[in-house]
Structure 1
Amino acid sequence: MTLVAPDPARSAPLSLREQADVRDRWLTQRLLDVLPGLMDRADIDLWLVIGREYNEDPVLATLLPATWLSARRRTILALHRSDDGVTAAAVSRYPVGQFLPAWSPEDAGGPPAEESQWAEVRRIVEQADPRRIGIDVSESFALADGLSHTEHRLLVTALGPYADRLVPAEDLVVGWLETRLPEEIRALHAANALVHEVIAEAYSPAALVPGTTRATDLAWWIRQRLHDLGVEPWFHPSVAVQRAGVPLARERGTLLPAVAYDAVIQPGDLVHCDVGSSSLGLRTDTQRNGYVLRDGETAAPAGLRAALHVGNRMQDLTVEALALGRTGNEVLARARATAAAEGIDGDVYSHPIGSHGHGAGPAIGRWDEQGGVPGAGDYPVHPDTAYALELAVRLPVPEWAGQCVRMALEEGIALTRDGVEYLDGRQTELILIPPG
């Protein structure tokens, strides 16, 4: 069971069967309403997605019915753009959901199954006579580079002279993976709301006892809690601690918390977590900051609160730069330039999110590439997309004798033609953790 529903107003959990119904309905709608425009934008007439069992193209999972947890034997999907929309056919040993069955080895007769399967692909290409046949090869995006060497070789052999029409489907793949339906965005609101609830619970006496609980204990508690709710993480949660008297240390070219990863969490600590969940084929990626009150304290030190507010300002500047048509590198450069003009010391390393955690789409910096990301950073921003707005700022904390703190933030956002919306809001105040 999962608590994530496509309608955030719905409180009842969805069964696995209900989730499958939702995902299949989304797939049908995406094939009808989203894919034709994406194929036109990428100038692709026929898209071939090919994968073998246990060696699937990453895109394949987003095209298969929900009851298919992987490819079966060799699964070939042919999506042809015509005046009537997109014809979706499956050259597969088994029926593939709403795809038209285009081949059966029993009906082929004569040649071995593999040979007749590739012959059917050739027949589809000859009948469609496409100008440009998109295949999943890409230098810039791993998610668009799923066609294996063997499958590529067999395809080229099968197509003969039509192989000259093969082109990288990079733009189409990225567009397919990054574009979200309105209902998917509503589901992301609900998914992020659940993660926010779990983190709030983790920062409460239900999970965190200062002086006893270690950072690693809390990370495992979060993972177990998500699992118990039927919402699996797509990476192991992390918990980091900063405290007065333990300055940031330079590691891997940047300043990071130096408190041991398995340290016992103490009153006066700044606690940071990074959590990602999976539900309905969509991902979340969230960071939250909490402060462990000392005895007698009712609020976090003003310097820590100021650091969070500066981080919020850095979010504002990045969102303002996130304009349709700009590349990820242009968004990064604008955000960093305006931040520098305001005296903010920070880094931006935001990324698309959706079908995958670190999803396909424009890379808006990386923590170790603040000058721009070659390839992925040159991709433009499109509407109806979702991102993990991830960044960090650094500034001194007077109450910590001027020691520098690194305030790292990450929130889910969706970008439509109406602008940017936060997925279930953003953190603007530190979560206060009782002293125990």
Structure 2
Amino acid sequence: MIITPVVTSLRTQIDLRVQWLAERLTLLLPELMERAQIDLWIVTAREYNEDPVIMTLLPAPAMNARRRTILLFARCPDGTVEQLTLDRYGYGDLYRQAWSPDTESQDDCLARLVAEYDPQRIGINMSSTFAFADGLTYTEYQRLCAALGPRYAERCVSAEALVIGWLERRIPAELAVYPELVALGHRIIATAFSRAVITPGVTTTDDVVWWLRQTMHEAGVQAWFQPTVSIQAHGMPFDVPPTRNRIWPGDLLHCDVGFCHLGLCTDQQQHAYVVARNETAPPAGLVAALAQANRLQDILLDEMRVGRTGNQVLAATRARALAEGLQPSIYSHPLGYHGHAAGPTIGLWDHQEGVPGAGDYPLYDETVYSIELNNVALVPEWGNQPVRIALEEDAALTGGAMVWLHGRQTQLHVIE
């Protein structure tokens, strides 16, 4: 089976991402700066030590900052945002090149422009909660304060709300292509969990892992973490170290796969069952266990509402799930430019009581999430052995409602 990316031409990919960036700067940035009450946003970084957010602001095919790059975003009285760059080479039409190295130093240019705009609140990328919003290095901070002088340095505030808003928010064009990315992930998993890749008694989990990694590489998408494949079986529970990695009939397989394409990331987990001798289908207990995990997904999506914090969603979901007799664990996260992306944390596997800081951030509309969770159920056919069904599917909060981007797994992949 040939698996190809959503957009195969590298040049077309670049053109599309530049178009999206232009739309984002025009459509989103004025709203987000107003919401965060930031008058001037300064993003500064040095080559090979880039601020996480600056790479989402530089137009492709730029792959890093050039020497020292400073971007300025200034709110204007008419509601627009002026976009400037202070670097030697410029970034095309998206940013007005505001520094002439032949006439003044970069720091003098920055000081002059800030004085001209005279902003009351200057956003800089410092945050104790979100790494994405903490990209201003100590040296750059010192240099920035020295250039601004005491008057304007005192007006510097954390740009955390602006950074997270910029990273998490999706424009219509991005939301339109996201289902295709998720569908590609589903095709990759379906092929991995088939006889095209797995021969019971021969294939190991490592073989499948490297097939996944190689396939993503050949498909022109970039894995953002090493895939995993694991086994549960009768007498081989999920909560003890595995005794083997060779796949046999009667095994319940699990995978975790995620990639980035067109600057957007996916994250998916699904299960497959290897039919044992004298079986024609998976045991009814495994089918029921998957249905219970699907029910947990339903509850979580129902509780994910605009304005609620990640911790509020987590608590409400767990309360309902426990009341229904489920054994839930919820650790969902935003998706976007990054795999574990900017936005509200909805549980961690080791923090089911809530996550201070990142879990207190609210859900906003037009955002994307990895619905990651598991539920433990007893399987009668395996002597009532506990089995963990760990699922992860991608969904969007758009128009005030949660929707799956390309469906979800409701049936086990079956390997004959």
Same fold (TM over 0.5): yes
Q: Is the 8 A contact 2:213 2:226 kept in 1?
A: yes
Instruction: State the match for 2:207 in structure 1.
Output: 217
Q: Is the 8 A contact 2:375 2:390 kept in 1?
A: yes
Match for 2:142 among 134, 149, 153?
153
Deviation at 1:298?
2.1
Deviations 1:3-29 (A, max 9, x none): 444xxxxxxx43111000000000000
Aligned equivalents of 1:319, 1:231: Cα separation in 2: 28
Map 1:86-165 onto structure 2 (within 5 A): 86-97=81-92, 98-108=94-104, 116-160=105-149, 161-165=151-155
Aligned equivalents of 1:417, 1:168: Cα separation in 2: 29
Helix, strand or coil at the partner of 1:106: coil
Amino acid at match of 2:23: Q
Instruction: State the match for 2:64 in structure 1.
Output: 70
Decide which moves more: 118-127 or 373-382.
Answer: 118-127
Aligned equivalents of 2:190, 2:61: Cα separation in 1: 34
Aligned equivalents of 2:414, 2:77: Cα separation in 1: 58
Aligned equivalents of 1:220, 1:4: Cα separation in 2: 18
Instruction: Answer yes or no: is 1:57 the counterpart of 2:57.
Output: no
Aligned length: 412
Deviation at 1:2?
8.9
Match for 1:80 among 70, 74, 78?
74
Aligned equivalents of 2:414, 2:173: Cα separation in 1: 34
Deviations 1:96-134 (A, max 9, x none): 2311101121243xxxxxxx1011111111111111000
Instruction: State the match for 2:357 in structure 1.
Output: 375
Instruction: State the match for 1:394 in structure 2.
Output: 376
Instruction: State the match for 1:343 in structure 2.
Output: 325
Aligned equivalents of 2:192, 2:125: Cα separation in 1: 41
Question: Residues 76, 383 of structure 1: CA spacing in aligned structure 2 closer, same or farther, 3 A cutoff?
Answer: same
Instruction: Answer yes or no: is 1:258 the counterpart of 2:254.
Output: no
Aligned equivalents of 2:161, 2:334: Cα separation in 1: 15
Aligned equivalents of 1:417, 1:157: Cα separation in 2: 45
Aligned equivalents of 1:244, 1:296: Cα separation in 2: 16
Aligned equivalents of 1:296, 1:199: Cα separation in 2: 26
Deviations 1:140-182 (A, max 9, x none): 1001100000000000011011101000000000000000011
Instruction: State the match for 1:24 in structure 2.
Output: 18
Deviations 1:242-282 (A, max 9, x none): 00012332xxxxxxx6324x610111100000000110011
**Displaced runs of 4+ in structure 1, greater than 4 A?**
none
Deviation at 1:418?
4.2
Amino acid at match of 1:143: F
Decide which moves more: 90-99 or 138-147.
Answer: 90-99
Amino acid at match of 2:17: R
Helix, strand or coil at the partner of 2:329: strand
Aligned equivalents of 1:188, 1:368: Cα separation in 2: 30
Aligned equivalents of 1:336, 1:357: Cα separation in 2: 24
Q: Is the 8 A contact 1:348 1:390 kept in 2?
A: yes
Deviation at 1:284?
0.3
Amino acid at match of 1:209: T
Match for 2:165 among 163, 170, 175?
175
TM-score (norm 1): 0.93
Aligned equivalents of 1:52, 1:138: Cα separation in 2: 19
Amino acid at match of 2:188: V
Q: Which runs of 5+ in 1 are unaligned?
A: 6-12, 109-115, 250-256
Q: Is the 8 A contact 1:319 1:420 kept in 2?
A: yes
Aligned equivalents of 1:185, 1:167: Cα separation in 2: 31
Q: Is the 8 A contact 2:3 2:215 kept in 1?
A: no
Q: Is the 8 A contact 1:277 1:284 kept in 2?
A: yes
Aligned equivalents of 1:196, 1:36: Cα separation in 2: 36
Amino acid at match of 1:204: S
Question: Residues 3, 123 of structure 1: CA spacing in aligned structure 2 closer, same or farther, 3 A cutoff?
Answer: farther
Helix, strand or coil at the partner of 2:196: coil
Deviations 1:177-197 (A, max 9, x none): 000011111221111111100
Question: Residues 418, 323 of structure 1: CA spacing in aligned structure 2 closer, same or farther, 3 A cutoff?
Answer: closer
Aligned equivalents of 2:47, 2:214: Cα separation in 1: 30
Instruction: State the match for 1:14 in structure 2.
Output: 8
Deviation at 1:296?
3.5
Q: Is the 8 A contact 1:2 1:230 kept in 2?
A: no
Instruction: Answer yes or no: is 1:325 the counterpart of 2:307.
Output: yes
Aligned equivalents of 2:381, 2:345: Cα separation in 1: 36
Deviation at 1:93?
1.5
Aligned equivalents of 2:125, 2:224: Cα separation in 1: 24
RMSD, matched Cα: 1.3
Helix, strand or coil at the partner of 1:105: coil
TM-score (norm 2): 0.97
Q: Is the 8 A contact 2:8 2:220 kept in 1?
A: no
